[in-house]
Amino acid sequence: MATIPLVRQPEPVRALSWQAVAFTERIVAALMLALAAPVVLTSGLVLSLFSRRSPLIAHKRVGWLGAPLWVLKLRTMWDGAAGREQRTARWIEQIDDEVGPDLKEAGDPRVANAFARFCRRHSIDEIPQLWHVVTGQMSLVGPRPMTAAELRRYYGPDADEILQVKPGLAGLWQVSGRNRLNYAQRRALDLQLVRTRSVRMYLSLLLRTIPEVLGGANSW
């Protein structure tokens, strides 16, 4: 039997496909954000009451092509004593912390109560990041945005290649073990995503993300 040759899409066709994806996901993200607004508002109110601080935080990360990206999240970490002393002063607190992500672990004492742990386990705290998709700063699927220190220490010369693709809400390592993976494994999966990405992979990762979020496994 004759071998069927592999037909690759011409580059203009690939570019057009990704333009269509980018346009569509911004509309989808806006609809998702509108539908999730009651959940975000309720969760933000509860977390604000517990922490006595602003319900939203913005972590400084490195975005697409190296641009600064202040990643929005619901506050799920706080120090009890500081929370009592510092009342909510503004709706979004900007946090430029290069060390914090390295300290994250299961049973992290900074996650102060069961509701905060529930929000983290099921990624409720990350719903505000849909706004970054609406504005075109992020994609629904891509490497997770990291701090400059993480990129230098764990990704090294591979960081430039990773930054050629928009950071995403969902990615390959997030559906392949999530927080139990070490940085070397995450780097390998991020590079695989960047080097082999396709619209088919994009859709597949979106579908695989749904049970991961609902199940909440390997997330803290």
Q: Give Cα separations from 46 to 41, 52, 58, 107, 175 (angstroms).
A: 9, 10, 18, 21, 29
- Of residues 34 and 107, more confidently modeled: 34
Q: Which of 105-119, 135-149, 194-208 has the lowest mean pLDDT?
A: 105-119
For the stretch 116-153, pLDDT in tens is 999 999 999 999 999 999 999 999 999 999 999 999 99
Q: What are the boundaries of each domain within the chain?
A: 20-215
Structure tokens at 93: 């607190």
Q: Tell me the C-alpha distance between 136 and 23, whole Å.
A: 9
pTM (global) more than 0.85: yes
Instruction: Among 28-42, 101-115, 130-144, 145-159, name the one with the lowest average pLDDT.
Output: 101-115
In degrees and rounded to multiples of 5, residue 2 shows phi and psi of -70, 140
Confidence category of residue 8, pLDDT binned at 50, 70, 90: very low
To the nearest 10 degrees (0 to 180), the angle between helices 11-51 and 114-121 is 170
**Using one digit for the tens of pLDDT, what is the confidence trace for 60-90?**
999 999 999 999 999 999 875 444 334 444 6
Residue 48: is its pLDDT beyond 50?
Answer: yes
Collapsed DSSP state (helix, strand, coil) of residue 157: helix
